[in-house]
Amino acid sequence: MKKQSKILLLEIIICLVPAAASIYAGYYIYAGAYNTNFAASFFICWVLVTLFNWKREVQTPLPRFRWFTFVLIVFVFATFLVTKPSYTYEQGKTYLESRNYTAVELLEPRSLISFNLERNYFITSAYLYTGRKNGHDYYLLLQPKTGEIESLKVNSGNYIDHYFEMLDSMSAH
């Protein structure tokens, strides 16, 4: 009984570490443009199922890892490998500089919905930067998977200008 409890505790830790890592990666590495909630959700649900069934699980005659834990880990990591963006937020800056944009700056917020670039369940928005090209300042939206770029002139009355105006007015209150 005690050995199975240790195995279950190890399974919980094995599930919580990638759940925390996926949340961290989604926000800090992929700037909120890549939805990593699927991974955290799967792992946390499995931890809750484990805790809910703890009493029954420790009664198993032979201590063992549960096969579904391995299936879940493989499924989540395979999904991540297939759907992950080609560029991190930092790599996006370098990519834009290679496309002849200068003075590329990282912004806060770091991602924003683009109405022209592809989105799906995993790639929910585009990375947001500012940069210069041909003497003009642009907001640059980079699709993290394909590298497609949408540029909108700064202070031209576009939706990004309005978004920042709204943020400024909210912070003034």
Q: What are the sequence ranges of the domains in the chain?
A: 2-83, 89-172
Its pTM stands at 0.87
Q: Which two tokens stand for residue 3?
A: 């050995």
Cβ atoms of residues 126 and 141 within 8 Å: yes
Residue 139: strand pairing partners = 130, 152
pLDDT (average), residues 51-64: 86
The Cβ of residue 154 has, within 10 Å, a number of other Cβ atoms equal to: 16
Residue 6 vs residue 60, higher pLDDT: 6
Interval 35-46 mean pLDDT: 94
76-106 pLDDT, tens digit per residue, is: 999 999 999 999 999 999 999 999 999 999 9
1 pLDDT above the threshold of 80: no
